[in-house]
Structure 1
Amino acid sequence: MRSGWQVGRIFGIPLLLDQSWFWILALISFQYGTIWQREGWGGLLPWFAGFAMALLLFGSVLLHELGHSLIARSQGINVTSIRLFLFGGIASIEQESKTPGQAFQVAIAGPAVSFSIFLVLSLLRLALPLPEPAEAVIGNLAGINFVLALFNMIPGLPLDGGQVLKAAVWKATGSRAQGVRWAARAGQTLAWTAVIVGIFSFFSTMQLSYLWLALLGWFGVQNASTYSRVTDLQEALAQLTAAQAMTREFRVVEAEMTLREFADKYLLNEMKPTVYYAAADGRYRGLVAPERMQTIERSSWDSAAVQELVDPLSEIPAVAENTSLIQVIDRLETETLRRITVLSPAGAVAGVIDRGDIVRALAEKLKIALPEDVINRIKEEGAFPPGLQLQEIAKSAGGDR
């Protein structure tokens, strides 16, 4: 899910600005403007330079994220957006690289860009005689890019160094999930250390910069934990099949039954929407579409048969029992289906799957107690809960399969 205002596209990738970006832009502008004003810069020059410094800093962050994005796109991976926000930037890459080597390339591209910016700006300072404001801006920008490259190589998720560690463990063990878990644990340890050091240092010195360290650490804790949870979901999805998630919450009716009998015996007595399949001579004929009865004159209901409402099994959305739940989710979301039919090897209806069934199967696999009323609400709404982006999670799964 994208958040923020789209302000343009870079190489076809949407650029988004989060609301928090404007606050940090103003803070950085004020910070540098104040420093340069104290150094004796007159008039509005320190404030213009501070604003330029803030914009160039985020320009560097944008180039850093473009490094990740363009390498990912060269591997055939879709990049849905680049978002600038309070803590810098993030590229939304739709799925995981297929090999640890490719994952390493994507991870290292960002720090490589930041280090390249540092080198170019440093050489520029040495090669050209620059006025003091330009010298100050370029010097600070070079230093920040150097720090950005080093900081991002800290070996813990969600930093790029964590992605490098993940790729290394993935290569060594053959398991992407193992790589994520190692890198996430390292990230959580480092992030909690930053939180603790930041808080204690703030109360010892009363310097606000330590609170920023603690805030960065908390952001790292939350993101590293998210990586672990997403990996657990991906593993569960990869291990589950349609047969394990499907239910038999459907009814089988005679294809030759009149519409009047169908309405009186079933439609008028059902307390909630029900899925109907028609059968004749011991064989399934297809899925019944009760809503089509509205197009048939009521006077014909005594002579018309249910068969007139049937879509053949060969023409309805269906999957085999051994289909991965990842593929089931993709079809439900891509084709905007409320449910999907599961067919046995013999071509008979084995069950049906909707989003509530998928959430129930995942909860059972992960040993999470989920109230039945939550499942029923998902079934009624025909949508996954807003915070559970299963299609994106399923798409990004890879490596171990």
Structure 2
Amino acid sequence: MLGGGSSFTLFRIAGIRVGVNASWFLILFLSIAWLQDSFRDDLGSDGKGFTAAVVAVFLFFGSILLHELGHAFAARREGIGVAGVDLFFFGGFMRATRDSETPGEEFRVAAAGPAVTLLIALVFAAVALVMEGGGEAVDAVTLEPVSGATMVEVLVSFTVTMNAILLLFNLVPAFPLDGGRIARAAVWKLTGDRHRATRFSAFLGQAFAVLLIGYGAYVGFSNEDWVSGIWYFILGWILGSAARQAVVQSTFSTRLEGVTAEDIMDAEPVTIPASLPVARAHEDFFLRYQGWPWFAVVEHDGRFAGLAHREAVEHAALSGAASLPVRSVVTEGEEVRTDTPLEALIGSEPLRRLGALMAVDADGRLRGVVTLEQVSRALQTRLAPS
């Protein structure tokens, strides 16, 4: 689902950062307040109604989190890095480090979230069936009043219903919803053109956004239900904005297409042999090249071994470890494949943090160094007016 912006870190699951946007706290409290009255009527108690509302909201957002983790783990299986998962006003968003490279990748990652949501709905529906029997289970799942319902029964039926709604909404073929991404994968497969597929699914997303905004206006003016009307209006506005952004991003990507790390890197970087003693490395490199904070270290076959930093080499050279090979004091450097697209380099957090990436081939041999300045220069060249 959509999302974006900065967020607060909550925790990590399997190394995946989970954060929340500030808007999440607003919807959290509003949802509890809205559900409390409904559950109070079902359970006959203010205290039970409030408790059920709190648990229900966390079950709902927990379902959204599992939905996004489904996308995240599917992306990892495809070799796509995952920067994190954010929960926000209307749902959640899985932040990948790159876009899908094939229609198959796009489909598998997009379909993973709805598959998780369907599984949650089926599991809770089975629990409802076991607890309440056939007829009453159907009433509970459709949020019809069930006489003498317990808090557990109310929460189970609520979770089934909300996950069913979440599933149906996400499968609408409107980008950036999952259904829109699945539609994008299908058009991409048929046409062989990723950008045409993106523009098509984004057009569907914009059309769906207009429908939501129009329906919100209708609900507000005709039924005088301004709360629901504003809700649909905001949701449509967010969807439409995300779809328009996808078109802009597609146009941007088209301008950068064909440029890789190999095209912009320094193909002859100064490197230190990994077997060179620390004292020689200090003398021949760090004393010779004043002001250079680090050098790439390579093995005899050209494989990248790590980065030798000035402070570490100077300390080792002056502390009795001067005869050790320089590979013993290196730190891990950030690597990137030489065929990595320029578009992926732009969004690289390690590049922004370190200022440079080590460009290696499929066998791990160092072929060059990509700097932030080189990426900026390539961007200016490609995006300059014709």
**Which range, TM-score by smaller chain?**
0.5 to 0.7
Q: How high is the TM-score relative to the length of structure 2?
A: 0.66
Classify the secondary structure of the residue corresponding to 1:6.
Answer: strand
Q: 2:223 aligns with which of 202, 205, 209?
A: 205
Classify the secondary structure of the residue corresponding to 2:257.
Answer: helix
Alpha-carbon shift at residue 12 of structure 1 (Å): 1.4
**What does residue range 251-270 of structure 1 map to in structure 2 within 5 Å?**
none
Which 4+ stretches in 1 moved above 3 angstroms? 239-246, 289-292, 322-335, 352-360
Extract unaligned runs of 5+ from structure 1.
247-288, 293-321, 338-351, 368-401
Compare relative contact order (CA 8 Å, sep 6+) and give the higher one, 1 or 2: 1
CA contact (8 A) 2:98 2:344 kept: no
2:114 is matched with 111
Letter in 1 for 2:217: I
Q: 2:18 aligns with which of 15, 18, 29?
A: 15
Classify the secondary structure of the residue corresponding to 2:92.
Answer: strand
**What does residue range 316-355 of structure 1 map to in structure 2 within 5 Å?**
325-326=342-343, 333=352, 336=355
Residue by residue, what CA displacement relative to the aligned partner does 1:320-367 show, whole Å, maximum 9, x if unpaired? xx9975587579647515xxxxxxxxxxxxxx96566445334435x7
**What does residue range 295-334 of structure 1 map to in structure 2 within 5 Å?**
325-326=342-343, 333=352
Q: 1:172 aligns with which of 183, 187, 190?
A: 190
Q: CA separation of 1:364/1:30 partners in 2, compared to 1, >3 Å: closer, same or farther? A: same
Classify the secondary structure of the residue corresponding to 1:90.
Answer: strand
Counterpart Cα distance in 2 of 1:241 and 1:71 = 25
1:316 is matched with none
Is residue 47 of structure 2 the alignment partner of residue 44 of structure 1?
yes
1:263 is matched with none
**What does residue range 150-299 of structure 1 map to in structure 2 within 5 Å?**
150-207=168-225, 208-239=227-258
2:159 is matched with 141
Number of aligned residue pairs: 283
1:364 is matched with 384
CA contact (8 A) 1:114 1:148 kept: yes
CA contact (8 A) 2:43 2:151 kept: no
Classify the secondary structure of the residue corresponding to 2:79.
Answer: coil
Alpha-carbon shift at residue 242 of structure 1 (Å): 9.7
Letter in 1 for 2:50: W
Alpha-carbon shift at residue 168 of structure 1 (Å): 0.3
Alpha-carbon shift at residue 241 of structure 1 (Å): 8.0
Counterpart Cα distance in 1 of 2:120 and 2:163 = 7
Q: How high is the TM-score relative to the length of structure 1?
A: 0.64
Aligned-residue identity in percent: 32
Extract unaligned runs of 5+ from structure 2.
133-147, 266-288, 293-338, 357-371
**What does residue range 68-79 of structure 1 map to in structure 2 within 5 Å?**
68-79=71-82
CA contact (8 A) 1:7 1:17 kept: yes
CA contact (8 A) 2:219 2:228 kept: no
Counterpart Cα distance in 2 of 1:116 and 1:328 = 36
1:88 is matched with 91
Q: CA separation of 1:324/1:198 partners in 2, compared to 1, >3 Å: closer, same or farther? A: closer
Classify the secondary structure of the residue corresponding to 1:66.
Answer: helix
Residue by residue, what CA displacement relative to the aligned partner does 1:261-294 show, whole Å, maximum 9, x if unpaired? xxxxxxxxxxxxxxxxxxxxxxxxxxxx9989xx
Alpha-carbon shift at residue 97 of structure 1 (Å): 2.5
Counterpart Cα distance in 1 of 2:351 and 2:39 = 57
Residue by residue, what CA displacement relative to the aligned partner does 1:118-174 show, whole Å, maximum 9, x if unpaired? 111111011125952111111111011011111101001110000000100110011
Counterpart Cα distance in 2 of 1:76 and 1:242 = 18
CA contact (8 A) 2:131 2:153 kept: no
Q: 1:26 aligns with which of 19, 26, 29?
A: 29
Counterpart Cα distance in 1 of 2:340 and 2:112 = 36
CA contact (8 A) 1:16 1:83 kept: yes
Letter in 2 for 1:95: R
Counterpart Cα distance in 2 of 1:90 and 1:325 = 24
Residue by residue, what CA displacement relative to the aligned partner does 1:31-53 show, whole Å, maximum 9, x if unpaired? 11111223462141100100000
Counterpart Cα distance in 1 of 2:184 and 2:344 = 25
Counterpart Cα distance in 2 of 1:164 and 1:86 = 23
CA contact (8 A) 2:174 2:180 kept: yes
Q: CA separation of 1:43/1:220 partners in 2, compared to 1, >3 Å: closer, same or farther? A: closer
Letter in 1 for 2:246: Y
Classify the secondary structure of the residue corresponding to 1:76.
Answer: coil
Q: CA RMSD in A?
A: 3.2
CA contact (8 A) 2:41 2:49 kept: no
CA contact (8 A) 1:233 1:362 kept: no
CA contact (8 A) 2:345 2:375 kept: no
Letter in 2 for 1:88: G
